[in-house]
Amino acid sequence: MTANASERLLQHYVDNFRRLPWRSAPGTPPPPAYRVWLSEIMLQQTTVAAVTPRFERFVTRWPTVEALAEAKDEDVLSEWAGLGYYARARNLIACARKVARRGGFPETAADLRSLPGIGDYTSAAIAAIAFGEDAAAVDTNVERVVARLHAIDRPTRAQIEQLVRDMLRSGRAGDLAQALMDLGATICRPKNPLCASCPIAADCAAFASGIPERFPLPKPKRVRPLRHGVAYWIEQRDCVWLVRRPAKGLLGGMAALPGSEWQDGPLPVRPAVRHIFTHFALELGIERRSSAIGDGWWQPLDTLEDAGLPTLYRKAVAAFLTDRSSRRRAA
């Protein structure tokens, strides 16, 4: 990629950058590392549209990493509810406390990687955007843009990182990272890329081939095994019994309906809800029970939205209440 092409990409970013609450405008001082880190953790496997209002709620409630470090685990987990991938929330808490103990975020990608929940991409993104290090931040969007630029069928991460480093202009690593992210999100899309609007189309080998969508080749889809379980609905005086899941494991530390262990195979009876996790699909039935099970609390039905239930259990609650309402109308 030529120097002129890099400059065109950077100028396109200056003229068209997405205004997001965790960013600073090009040419202004960089955003605090806390905001960059928090946004990058939230954005893992989650869309910008979903993250934006949740990010703003987080930073209103905990405006600094020190404030977040002092928060109760259950408060952070409750605020995270609905964003999914709850190991991120547990790592968020651990990372905030480690950063607070050391007096601030490290300023290099190498040192940032020592923090809980921060891998190669996140460390490079924080280092480039918040601290101006010439680090190559490669997420899915960046990988697609660079693979198409060079018409690479099956790129390796090391290959893409080196090509990004070749594009770096000293002191503008943060702008380049965000320029590539924005280009991949808005123009160089997985399907129907808007090549006519791309500032570097003239330098793009995939565009020259006439079939830009071919690059990179899709990764084989994994077949998710199916598991099943049962959630128990225990209700007294317009309250439902909730428990907290074990700290370790899937949905660790989150509020939940009590229930059975999850087992392999389909649910023997018609499931109330189906939920997709990263590595498996779950069918969850709902059964009424009369007595409280385990350690928990009675949550008023009219404040269930404030309980911090993850999406799986929100689905289960909605399915149960909808079914009960239908039965009452039919009676």
Residues serving a catalytic function are 40
Q: Report phi then psi at 229, rounded to 5.
A: -160, 180
Q: Extract the tokens encoding 303.
A: 């404040």
* CA quadruple 118, 120, 122, 125: dihedral sign: positive
CA 239 to mean position of chain CA atoms: 32
Consecutive H or E run containing 67: helix 65-69
Task: Using alpha carbons, list the distances in angstroms from residue 85 to 41, 92, 99, 167.
Answer: 10, 12, 22, 33
* CA quadruple 188, 192, 195, 196: dihedral sign: negative
Query: How far apart, in whole angstroms, are the C-alpha atoms of residue 26 and residue 318?
Result: 44
Consecutive H or E run containing 64: none
Q: Extract the tokens encoding 80.
A: 């995270």
The candidate with the shortest Cα–Cα distance to 230, out of 320, 291, 156, 170, is: 320
Q: Extract the tokens encoding 12.
A: 């396109």
Q: Report phi then psi at 58, rounded to 5.
A: -60, -50
